[in-house]
Amino acid sequence: MYSGQVVFAQLMDFLPRHDFNACVRRYRGNARVRDFSCRDQFLTMAFAQLTYRESLRDIETCLRAMGQKLYHAGFRSKIARSTLADANHLRDWRIWADFAQVLIHRARALYAKDGFAVSLDHAAYALDSTTIDLCLALFPWARFRQHKGAVKLHTLIDLRGNIPCFIRITHGKTHDVNVLDHMPIEPGAFYMMDRGYVDFARLHRFTQLPAFFVTRAKKNIDYSRRESREVDKSTGLRSDQTIILRGVKTSQLYPDALRRIAYYHVEHNRRLVFLTNNFELPALTIAQLYRCRWQVELFFKWIKQNLRIKRFYGNSINTVKTQVWIAVSVYVLVAILRKELKLPRSLSEILQILSVTVFEKTPIFQALSTNSVPNPESACCNQLKLFDL
């Protein structure tokens, strides 16, 4: 039997300890703390994410059942649900947000050379948001409708590796377009977003940097055509035009030329119209780039199915943000593990295996490998064989 670390401890070894401590010191996370440090809090919440724990009591019961294994897994404090609840409520959620950015930076470097559906030399990102429903009776600060609470998770993902590189948690009533005021824009990169983000004053920032956006055009857009280019209609393209906005306000908010591309999607029997400030890429590539925006939708679906961000271990806004950011950290950590160990499994398969092997003493690569290793028979086994002659 492998006599080294348990799988959970091996996974946590991928965390940069120095950067973690720097994030904790930045917000005085361990100030006047006798036990249950920030590291113990992170390990406890990561365990809850990996093993799909439902509540604080569930976390406490399962960890206490592990007994002596907790020390070898990295835990240095006794786990109590009241202590964990207080830590999630009182410790600044920015500790986990900053540490998640450290992991994101590392993951993006690992996946930088990966390709995606479109052959493109530039960085490419997809932007969207998802709503996380909350019980209004338990989360009165998150009123979204008359009888409903919610928060929004605005996310920008790097299409190389589907790594979230910008996340902002806001009130459910926050309009999607407002996140453009806080999102960093990388010169030369492409940003794909739906028409909920069409605000010409904010889109003009992309042109000024310069960066490129690809979005859907609204039906009531007022424009005049300046130039038309020939397109191959057998590919689904219908038109490729250079336009100028002529609305009283829009022409002032976005005075530069735009590119308008019409595309017919045969499978869904839909006509789509795209707007972009890029005039160099082929029109069909622009349409394919927008199709890659769907990756952010798949990301939202994945984290809601595989991580604990729909049920929370507390009712305060600090607890909600803490749990979401630690969930993001676990997602990125598993992505780092998959890349560094060159595992052929998907992230979902890795999480499923980790959920039942976190306290096993086996090499993590062996536990996650697709090649099953048979257990060698003991030489001193006293069990007789049925067909032994």
pLDDT tens digit string along 227-263?
999 999 999 999 999 999 999 999 999 999 999 999 9
Predicted local distance difference test score (pLDDT) of residue 35 = 87
pLDDT digits (tens, 9 = 90+) for 118-136: 889 899 999 999 999 999 9
Asked whether 59 and 308 are in contact (CB, 8 A), the reply is no
Phi, psi for residue 11 in degrees, rounded to 5? -65, -45
Of the pLDDT bands very low, low, confident and very high (cuts 50, 70, 90), residue 68 is confident
In a domain, 105, yes or no: no
H-helix or E-strand spanning residue 165: strand 163-171
Confidence of residue 288 (pLDDT cuts 50, 70, 90): very high
Name the residue range of residue 244's domain.
194-292
On whether both 269 and 349 belong to a single domain, the answer is no
Summarize the confidence of residues 214-236 as an average pLDDT.
93
Residue 351 in any domain: the answer is yes
Name the band, by pLDDT with cuts 50, 70 and 90, for residue 286.
very high
Same domain flag for 266 and 356: no
Percent over 70 (pLDDT), the chain: 94
Q: Residue 114: helix, strand or coil by DSSP? A: coil
Whether 217 is in a domain gets the answer yes
| Confidence band of 145 (pLDDT split at 50, 70, 90) | confident
- Say how many domains are in the chain: 2
Single out the residue of 250, 154, 159, 169 nearest to residue 202, CA to CA: 250
313 lies in some domain: no
Whether the CB-CB separation of 152 and 171 falls below 8 Å is answered with: yes
Least confident of 26-30, 48-52, 228-232, 264-268: 264-268
Q: Which of 292, 310, 337 is the last residue of a domain?
A: 292
Q: Quick one: pLDDT at residue 318?
A: 97
pLDDT recorded at residue 34: 84
The pTM of the full predicted model, rounded to 2 decimals, is 0.90
- H or E segment and range at residue 126: strand 124-134
Start-to-end CA span in the chain (Å): 30
> What is the band of 381 on the pLDDT scale with cuts at 50, 70, 90?
very low
- pLDDT band at 81; cut points 50, 70, 90: very high
- What would the mean pLDDT of 319-344 be, rounded to a whole number? 96
Residue 361 lies in a domain: yes
SS3 content of the chain, % helix, strand, coil (to 5): 40, 20, 40
Rounded distance between C-alpha atoms, residue 292 and residue 271, angstroms = 17
Dihedral sign, Cα of residue 342, residue 346, residue 349, residue 354: positive
In a domain, 133, yes or no: no
Using the predicted structure, report yes or no on whether residue 376 has a pLDDT greater than 50: no
Read off the pLDDT band of 317 (50, 70, 90).
Answer: very high
Segment 173-187 mean pLDDT: 94
CB 4 within 8 A of CB 363: yes
Q: Are residues 199 and 282 in the same domain?
A: yes
CA dihedral angle for residue 147, residue 302, residue 84, residue 173, rounded to 10 degrees: -30
Does residue 132 fall inside a structural domain?
A: no
Closest CA to 211 of 221, 219, 220, 202: 202
Give yes or no: residues 78 and 22 share one domain: yes
pLDDT beyond 60 at 2: no
For residue 384, pLDDT over 80 is answered with: no
Q: Report the pLDDT averaged over residues 348-356.
A: 94
Report pLDDT for 379.
42
Average pLDDT, rounded, for the chain: 91
The secondary element (H helix, E strand) that includes residue 214 is strand 212-216
Closest C-alpha to 367, from 355, 379, 376, 378: 355
In a domain, 85, yes or no: yes
Of the candidates 253, 276, 292, which is a domain's last residue?
292
Please answer whether residues 192 and 289 qualify as being in contact, where contact means their C-beta atoms are separated by less than 8 angstroms: yes
